[in-house]
Every structure is written in structure tokens, then in C-alpha cells.
Structure 1
Amino acid sequence: MTYTSPAVVIDNGSYTTKAGFSSDDLPSLVFNSNYIRNEQTQQVIIGDEEMESHNDQEVMKLLDNGLVYDFDNLEHNWQYVYNNIDNHNSIDPKEFPLVVTEQPWNTTKNKMKACQIAFENLEVPIFSLVKNPLAQLYRCGKSTGLVIDIGSSVVSVTPILDGVIQSKCAFHSKYAGDFLNLHVLNYLESKTPVSNLLPAQFSNASTSFKQYYMSHNILQEFKNLSFNYQIKNYQLYSHDYIRVSDQPSFLDYLSDPTLNKLPHIQIPVPTLDKPESQGLTNLVYLSLKNLENTLLPQNNDGVSTNRYHRFIDIFKNLLSNVLITGGTSAANGLPDSVINNLKLLTQTYFPNYPFSYSIQQIRPNNTENAEIWDRQFGAWLGACNLASMLNDTDEKSNSAKIALDNWFVTKADYEELGEDLVAEKFK
């Protein structure tokens, strides 16, 4: 069955939600994933300008640890998309397939809740949950690679072999962009009172709104300027300047979260049995080490020559396709630094294997803007590629049937088979 309508594709990130039709080159909507619920009217307020006009109310988060935990308001987020996706005109969700991205560590319970909203509340005809790193890798035309996603709230390392995520070798932690924000704020506080950083119009705003505005505007702006342009002075809203020529190398804290202590914040001691306590470099190490143990288990008889060579071929293929993505990865020099650390890591901890010379980063083939878009919108773009298979009318390619069989659930099948089908199709 071929669908004539393009799918609606939604990528709910911790920082922003990206949405648009699968036929679009870029998302038509990019808006704040946070929201405000008015205490008096219970109205859910979405969008930067709308939230600023209700700055006395509390700002709520939609996601935590990369996962949606507030499903009551996820429907409002998706409904906002349907109300604005067509040049800020509304569309009927019953007439369009829906594709939503998810993290590999998403739970079955969460998948079921997402399906309930899609099929029972919005009544979409067909629905899919697409894993972020797989979508990002497919976007690059690859089925094998190491996806390093450095986002706002989470950094993750995901090895993928022949289109299959190696779940036992995939790890993530919260030492990502928001963690850098804490260090940036601590540094700026050493230069000027926090009240000087915020616009005067928000002096009476709620505490959570001030924190939200600081993170999404001041700290984000400072990171963009300092990471990419090495600024020496930073202008405040009062038009005064503060000297920032002595700013530290904030990006180093991604690899070593314990490098600089933060006041009033206790950083857990990193241990190898708790990957979530590790910085980026050690997450990569744990991923590769677990993959080695999985592909090359030792026994009393040693490892056969054929299996050893197969293992070498797999690792070479994996490491020659390293995809560095996520909004924080757009920082100047960070991708190259990650690649250099990866080469040093393999030389130090995997000295018996000729890996380091084969490590290569996947890069877009065209323009600089395309690379920026791929880092920011890679999961959304990759999900669009998969969703577009539903519209393929070429009977010889059979793409629509492949997509339906592997990645999509229809409303009729959901009503008949329910949770068992969801668990199997989106495992």
C-alpha cells in the first residue's frame, strides 16, 4: 500500500522540537520543547514568544534523560505541530502518517503511551517510532557506523552494525550541553551578578522562567560566541561589557566531568560499572570494549583465525564511519577533537589491532550549511528519508511494503494486536 500524503515527522529533543512534512528539505517548525501551564486557566502555552508573555508562570520540561516523561503534555506538543505545520495553518492528523523519533533506551511503557496518543487521541492512520542514531546514520547512506550524539541534555555513543543497534554496547550520560551551561554560568557569575545577565523585563519572572531563559538564551548565546569566535568581551543587556578573555576550555568538561568542581553541585565519582557517570571519551571506550567482548569472546581454545579477521573487518568498517552529531557538536573544533581522542584511545587500549589509521568521520559531501543542518536536524532528516518510502510508487523497488513491514504500525493492526505488536515492531 502506497500513501499519497507525506508523513508528519516530529523529533522531540530536550532543547527544541523539530517538525515538518517528510517531503520538506528542512523542518518547517523548530520550537522550544519546554512549555508553561497557566495555573489559573490550565492552558498549555508553547512557543518562545508566548512563554515570554507568561513569564510569571512556571516553566515545565517535556523530557528528562532524553526521554519523554510528561505524556499528558506530549499530546499538546504534537497538537501544536498539527496546528502550525502548514505555514502556521492546521491539518487533520487523521489524513497523514506520523513518524516520531526516539532514543535507543526508550522503554516499552513509553512506546505504548506514544502509540496511544497517536492512534487513540490523534487518530493517525499509521505510526512509527524511529531510533535517533539509526535515522542519523541512514541519513548519511550508511548502515554501519559509530554514532556519537552530543546534544543538549544527553551525550550518547551508539555502535550500529548492518542496521542493527548494538544495545549492550550503547551508552549515554548527562554530561552534554546543559552540563556545560552550568560551567558557563558559574564562570559568568564570577564576572557579574546573575541579575545583570537577564533583561530587566524579567526581573519579576518566576524562578523557573529565569532559569529557562538563562539557559536557552544567554548561556546558549555565550557558548555559540565563545566556542566558535573566541570572544574577549561579552555584551550584557544593559549594553555594558564584561571581559571574558580568561575563559577556560569548557569543551574539555565533556570528556572529563570532574575537571572543574561546581559550587553546590556534587558530581558522582566516575566508575566503569556505571557508564552514566562517565564523560564522552570513556563512553566511547566502554562502547568499543563491550563490542570487543561481544564479537571476540575468549575461551580456553582461544579465538579462531577466521573469527579474528572478521572482528578486525567489522571494527575497521565501524571506525571508518564515525558520525558526530547533535547541537553541541557544532562547536568549532569539537568533532576533530573527538576524532583525535578516538585515535589516541584505540592506540592506547587496543594496541593489538590496526584500528587508529582507519578512523574517519562521516561528513556531508556538499556545503558547510549542510553540515550544520545535519548536526542540528540529522535525526529529523533521517526519519524523513525512512518516511518517504511510504510514498514510493515504484512497484519494482517495493519500498512502501518494506517500510510498512519493518517500521510502521497501522491503526487497524494496533486496534487488533495492541501492545504485543508495538513491542515487537518498535523493539
Structure 2
Amino acid sequence: MATLPPTQAPNATEYAGDEINALILDPGSHSIRAGFAGEDVPKSVVPTSYGQLPSGERVFGENAVHLPRPDLDIRNPYDADGIVEDWETASKLWEYTITSRLIGARQTAPSKNGLNDGKDEQGDVDMAAEIEALEEQEKLLQEFPLLVSEPPWNPKKERERTIELAMEDWGVPAFFLAKTGQLAAYSQSKATALVVDIGARNTSVTAVWDGMVLGKSLHHTHLAGDWLTNQVRLMFAQQQPPVPLIPHYMVKSKTAVDANAPSSATYAKYPKPPTSSFHLQEEDRVLAAFKESVVQAWQGPGRLDSPAGQGNVTNSDYVKSIPPKPFELPDGWNTVFGLERFRVVEGLFDPAAAYTSPSIPKPNSDTSIPSIINKALQSVDVDSRPVLLNNIILTGAGSLIDKLPERIQADVQALYPNPKVRVLAHSSSVERKYGAFIGGSVLGSLGSFHQMWISREEYAESGRGVVEKRFELLKPTVYVPPPTKTRRTSTATKTNKPKPEKLTDEQLATLQASLFEQSRQKLNPTQVQHEDVMELSPDNIIKHLESELTKTKSRIAQLEGQEAAAVGHVVQAREEKSKVQQTLTNLRKTLLSRDQSIKRLQEKNAKLEAEVQQQKHIIAMLEAQVEELRRYSHGLRYQHAQASDFHNNIISNLQTEVDSLTAMVEEAKKHI
């Protein structure tokens, strides 16, 4: 079993105690997550893809890489296995992730701006000393211990490069490196679990036992999130008619259309179109949205195309009866997807059912998720398998596919019918997506965890090789059953040893000659060649045998010393195991407290939602009253208008009569 050797106690003002201002960095091939220990989610999430300009300048961040430019080439510093292959870019990406939202950018030394150039040799010497001092002060993370996650298959060279970057370039006071599967288990308060992590480029299976990773259990496959995105792309292309895949940046405006009707969008025009890598990235964003909102796993039992137990009816025939889901593309074109949304995922479990093309062949049958889970279980002790099967943790952004946990549980249960299989997938999509970060956040916030850090002093003493010694994988032991003891049925079957007979003089002479010959072989060549110097007498033989006995006793004493040292190592290992168990206990308490806090927040949220519903009801009543008053006011205006017209008619008639009477009076006056 790999153990962690004792380390020097850290300075309490640096990173010990319950208030540890530690940073958690969880880099991946799709995104890089960072935040402070104790936080529920990462504060900074940056795409791992970056933009490369013709000048060599790199641009990072969500806004920069999704802005259409004719000269922006989209790249990724990770290889197909999720291992860093471009350290210059990866280190800048990690630094950008930390500085953009957590601690601020690195300050530039005044001596480097060209305004303080020395005027003589002494000035140059002083300048060099000042630059060296300022460089030491400018270390990016000199006040922050750093915990970094890594894929379980990360090679030694990359691990050493990581601690070298943290210690020498960033100046961290303490460092810790943990496997993603190990951290995902901690996020679920589990010290022993089988972690299935579905990321962007790889799906990995890791067995964790008592908080330690079992090295031989590590297995991974490329059937993961990016592969699933390509399956959606192939499905779109093979539909009849093909689905028109138009990314967002090409659409200026759109209007709603009926299902399967041609789009009536207005498309954006660019003097020079963006690069093909940018266009492919933007298409992948649309495919990812489809994958997250429409795609669903057939939850079993059996394969999607296997018989359903009713004549010639298959599971796919049953799936066709499930209501389809609609999806609208950025240009407004929309349709519904039925069987296709299930078939896209089927390749994760049955590679023979995967969509293929000339450039994308069919995967090997042993690369499916159930296959690598089975490989991981076969590599551990038989007695350990029931515990692991009952604690399968599903994590990673690729695990958010609807009904995926149920399908994995059904397929693994088919492989292992007797033990109970239980897949643990967090109900919160955020916590399932960021399982490794959350585990690192909880671990780094524990006050007792400071004993596990690699300090700067330890790094200065042992160099970057210390990371391989401290974070060695636990190699699982092979189970060997105890030997079977045969029981004697009666004393008659016992074999009695013959008693030694008394030797004759001739036999004694023969035995003595044999002892002489053996003694000759024990002597060194010089003594054998000069028999006249040393007589091969019984006395000399006895002296020689006594000498050999002394050497044997010395060897026994040496072996006893080694045994004592081994016992010391065992005691030390038990102490370290006790520390780890204490850390895990604190981890469980912290997670329990966090779960209680989440429950209280959920209750508070439920109360707030009830109040919101009540307020909405009041608002609806007020709106109804306002509408009624509006109608009443309209009626009054109408009545007022009618009354006004009536009054005007009366006044007009009276005026007419007055005018008539006035005329009659005037006429009468004339006659008088």
C-alpha cells in the first residue's frame, strides 16, 4: 500500500488551521474550473479552447473564442487522451482562469518598463538585484496553497511539470495533486467507490478504496462527450432529409415557422468568412445544446434493438411509442425527434449500434462503458467487488444525459446479477458536472488536511520528483486463499520418523571425507590451492564452521533490523491511514453540514416560492380590478358623450325657438 511519508509541520500563518485560503484548480480538455476551497461551485470557468491569431497572439475566454473573426484559429492544448501537450499555452490558460475572477492579474515590475535603465555598471548590478527581488515578490500565488486535479493516467513527466509550474512560476506555499476520481468520491462523502467520470474526450473508471486510488483499476475510453457530439452530427447528416446545421453566428434574425418548414431567417454576411476551426466549434455548440436538451438513454433492460419479449417486437418499436421531443435550430428550422434521440446514446453501451462514416469507424466492442467498468472490477480483489458495485459514482458533464444512470445500472447489473448494483448520480446537474472540483473544495477546506500538503521547503529539498513519491498510486494486492489444512483421521496414519542408527567406522570416514570436500568448497581459492598452509583437520573445519555461524548470526541480526524497520514503516502507514480516515471523517461531517445547509436553503426557497405565488395571485386580482375599472371608465365616457350630445340638441332647439320668437317680436314691432 502506498503511504504518505511524514512532512514538516507548516507555518500556521501560511496554510494551516481551519481557515485555509487554498485555491482549487480543476483543468480539463473542455473547460478549466477554479475557485477557493470551501465553495460549492467554481467561481471561474473558462473554455480550454483558445483563439490563435496570425501574429501568434492567443485570446482566452468565452467572449473571445466565440467572436467571429476571419483570422481566428481555434485550438486546444490537450491531446486526445486529455493530457497537456502544449504546456506554454496550458499554463497561460490556467493562469488566466485564476486571475480573471479570483485574485487579479500579475503585476509588472517597474524595472521592466524601460524607464529605470542603469547608467553605469553599478547601476546594472543594482538593477539586476532589484529585478530578482521583484520577480520573487511577483509570484502569482505566493499566498495561496494550490490543489490541482489530474486524470488518473497522467504520466510522471506531466505531474512533475505541474508542481514545477506551481512552485517555481507561481510561487505557491504548498501544493497537492489529486486524481479526479478520488475527488469525485469525496464529493459524494464516499471513501470507497467505483467512479465513472464521463468528460469531454474520455470516460474513465477508477476504483477508490479507503480514499486511495487502486492503480490497476484505471481504465478509460474515448466514448465520451465529444464522441457523443459527433454522433449527433452524423445523425443530423443521415436524416432524410438532412437536418440543416446552421450555427448562431450565421443568423442575423429569424421568424417562427412550422415544423419541417424551410427557414425564413436573415443570414449574416461577412466580407471574409471565419476559419473552418471556428465554424466547427460553433456547430458543436448547437450539437451540444441538442445533446443536453433532447437526447435520452434507453434505460433497459437490454439493448435498444434487442427483442422486448413480445414476439418480434423490439425495444426500438416500444421507444417509437414514446412522445418525441421538439428542437429548434438557430435559424428557426424545427422538427421533432423520436427514436433518433435514443439511438445517439446507444453507441456508449453497444458500439455496434453507433453511427459511422468513412472518417469515423465503428468503435471496438471492448470500449463501451459497461466493458471498461467490467475491466476495472476484474482487476481488483473479488471480495472488494460487492462494495464497489454498491457504490458506483457517476460524474462529469457527459453524465447529464437523461436516464443515463438508470441505463448504466441496468447494464452492470446484467454483468453481475448477484451483488446489488447501485449507481449514485447527484440530482443537481451542477454538482454532478463539477464533482471533482467540489471534492477538491471540501478536501482543501479541512483544517486537518494541512498535513498532506507538499511545502516549499520539501520541494526545495527533494525537487519535482517529490510529487511522484507522495502521490503514488495504490497497487492492489492479489488475493491468495490460505492453504488448506489436511485433517488426520487417526493416529495410525502418522508417519513415524526412523531413529538414527549407530554409524560404523567406515561410514564415519566417508562422512568425514564429505565434510572435508564441503569445507574445501567453502574456502577461498587461495586457501584451496595451498593445502600445505592450512591442514584440513577437524579442528580447522570446526573453526571454519564457527566463522560461518558468526556470519549467519550477523546476517540474522541484519534481517531482524530490516524487519524492525519494516514494522516501523507499517506503524507509520497505520498512522497515515488513521490521519486519512480522520480527514475523511471531517470530510463527511463537512458534507453533512453542507447537505443540511442545502436542505435549509431548499425549505427557504420553497417558502419564497409560495410567497411569490401568493404575490402573483394578488397581482392577478389587482390586474382584474384594474381591467374592470378600465371597462367602467370606458362606459362612463360613452354615457358622458351621449349626455353631451343630448344637451347640445336641447340647447340647439331652444336657440332655434328663441330665434323664432325674437323674429316674431321684431315683426310685431314693425306692425305697431
Supply the distance in 2 between the matched residues of 1:24 and 1:35 (Cα, whole angstroms): 27
**Letter of the aligned partner of 1:420 in structure 2?**
G
Partner deviation per Cα, 1:118-157 (whole Å, 9 max, x = no partner): 1121122211111100011012221111111112211111
Supply the distance in 1 between the matched residues of 2:25 and 2:450 (Cα, whole angstroms): 22
Say which structure is richer in helix. 2
Partner of 2:416: 346
- Shift in Å, 1:116: 1.8
Q: Tell me which of 274, 286, 289 is aligned to 1:205.
A: 274
Partner of 1:274: none
Supply the distance in 2 between the matched residues of 1:224 and 1:167 (Cα, whole angstroms): 33
SS of the aligned residue for 1:95 comes to coil
**Letter of the aligned partner of 2:283 in structure 1?**
M
Partner of 1:117: 165
Supply the distance in 1 between the matched residues of 2:335 and 2:69 (Cα, whole angstroms): 27
Supply the distance in 1 between the matched residues of 2:373 and 2:152 (Cα, whole angstroms): 16
Partner of 1:147: 195
Supply the distance in 1 between the matched residues of 2:222 and 2:151 (Cα, whole angstroms): 14
The change in CA–CA distance for 1:25 and 1:233 in structure 2 (over 3 A counts) is: closer
- Shift in Å, 1:342: 0.9
Supply the distance in 1 between the matched residues of 2:159 and 2:46 (Cα, whole angstroms): 23
Partner deviation per Cα, 1:323-343 (whole Å, 9 max, x = no partner): 011111111100011011111
Q: How does 1:267-306 map to 2 (within 5 A)?
A: 267=361, 270=364, 278-291=367-380, 295=381
Matched, 1:221 2:289: yes
Matched, 1:61 2:130: no
Cα RMSD after superposing both structures: 2.3
Q: Which runs of 5+ in 2 are unaligned?
A: 1-9, 107-139, 251-267, 297-321, 473-672
- Shift in Å, 1:220: 0.7
- Shift in Å, 1:45: 0.9
Q: How does 1:85-234 map to 2 (within 5 A)?
A: 85-86=101-102, 89-90=104-105, 92-189=140-237, 190=239, 191-192=241-242, 196-197=246-247, 199-200=249-250, 201=268, 204-215=273-284, 217-227=285-295, 232-234=325-327
- Higher RCO, 1 or 2 (CA under 8 Å, sep at least 6)? 1
Supply the distance in 1 between the matched residues of 2:449 and 2:405 (Cα, whole angstroms): 36
Q: Tell me which of 237, 242, 247 is aligned to 2:340.
A: 247
Supply the distance in 1 between the matched residues of 2:450 and 2:360 (Cα, whole angstroms): 51
On the 8 A contact 2:147/2:175 being kept in 1, the answer is yes
Q: Tell me which of 51, 72, 75 is aligned to 1:36.
A: 51
Q: Tell me which of 16, 22, 26 is aligned to 1:7.
A: 22
- Shift in Å, 1:25: 1.9
SS of the aligned residue for 1:205 comes to coil
On the 8 A contact 1:152/1:178 being kept in 2, the answer is yes
Matched, 1:16 2:31: yes
Q: How does 1:396-411 map to 2 (within 5 A)?
A: 399-403=448-452, 408-411=453-456
**Letter of the aligned partner of 1:328 in structure 2?**
G
Supply the distance in 2 between the matched residues of 1:340 and 1:146 (Cα, whole angstroms): 16
Matched, 1:361 2:420: no
Partner of 1:316: 386
Supply the distance in 1 between the matched residues of 2:163 and 2:150 (Cα, whole angstroms): 12
Partner deviation per Cα, 1:353-397 (whole Å, 9 max, x = no partner): x31xx2223355xxx4xx3122111000101112112xx2xxxxx
- Matched-pair identity in %: 23
Supply the distance in 1 between the matched residues of 2:82 and 2:323 (Cα, whole angstroms): 30
On the 8 A contact 2:45/2:97 being kept in 1, the answer is no
On the 8 A contact 2:396/2:433 being kept in 1, the answer is yes
Supply the distance in 2 between the matched residues of 1:126 and 1:256 (Cα, whole angstroms): 45
Partner of 1:304: none
Q: Tell me which of 329, 333, 345 is aligned to 2:399.
A: 329
SS of the aligned residue for 2:353 comes to coil
Matched, 1:236 2:329: yes
Partner of 1:73: 89
Partner deviation per Cα, 1:243-278 (whole Å, 9 max, x = no partner): 43452421111112232342122436636xxxxx51
SS of the aligned residue for 1:152 comes to coil
On the 8 A contact 1:11/1:100 being kept in 2, the answer is yes
Supply the distance in 2 between the matched residues of 1:211 and 1:58 (Cα, whole angstroms): 11
Supply the distance in 2 between the matched residues of 1:54 and 1:30 (Cα, whole angstroms): 21
Partner of 2:432: 375
Supply the distance in 2 between the matched residues of 1:286 and 1:268 (Cα, whole angstroms): 21
- Shift in Å, 1:197: 4.2
Supply the distance in 2 between the matched residues of 1:197 and 1:100 (Cα, whole angstroms): 35
- Shift in Å, 1:410: 1.9
- Shift in Å, 1:212: 1.7
SS of the aligned residue for 2:294 comes to helix
On the 8 A contact 2:40/2:441 being kept in 1, the answer is no
**Letter of the aligned partner of 2:59 in structure 1?**
I
- Shift in Å, 1:231: 5.5
SS of the aligned residue for 2:154 comes to coil
Partner of 2:59: 45
The change in CA–CA distance for 1:232 and 1:52 in structure 2 (over 3 A counts) is: same
Matched, 1:258 2:352: yes
Q: Tell me which of 393, 404, 416 is aligned to 2:461.
A: 416
- Detail structure 1 runs of 4+ shifted over 6 Å in the superposition: none
- Shift in Å, 1:192: 4.1
TM normalised by structure 1 equals 0.81
Supply the distance in 1 between the matched residues of 2:336 and 2:249 (Cα, whole angstroms): 19
Partner of 2:444: 387
**Letter of the aligned partner of 1:426 in structure 2?**
F
Supply the distance in 1 between the matched residues of 2:331 and 2:229 (Cα, whole angstroms): 22
**Letter of the aligned partner of 1:20 in structure 2?**
G
SS of the aligned residue for 1:374 comes to helix
Partner deviation per Cα, 1:71-121 (whole Å, 9 max, x = no partner): 1112111211232233x8447411111111001100010011111211121
SS of the aligned residue for 2:194 comes to strand
SS of the aligned residue for 2:379 comes to helix
**Letter of the aligned partner of 1:423 in structure 2?**
E
Tell me which structure has the larger Cα radius of gyration: 2
SS of the aligned residue for 1:247 comes to helix
Supply the distance in 2 between the matched residues of 1:173 and 1:94 (Cα, whole angstroms): 38
Supply the distance in 2 between the matched residues of 1:233 and 1:124 (Cα, whole angstroms): 50
**Letter of the aligned partner of 2:153 in structure 1?**
W
The change in CA–CA distance for 1:269 and 1:235 in structure 2 (over 3 A counts) is: closer
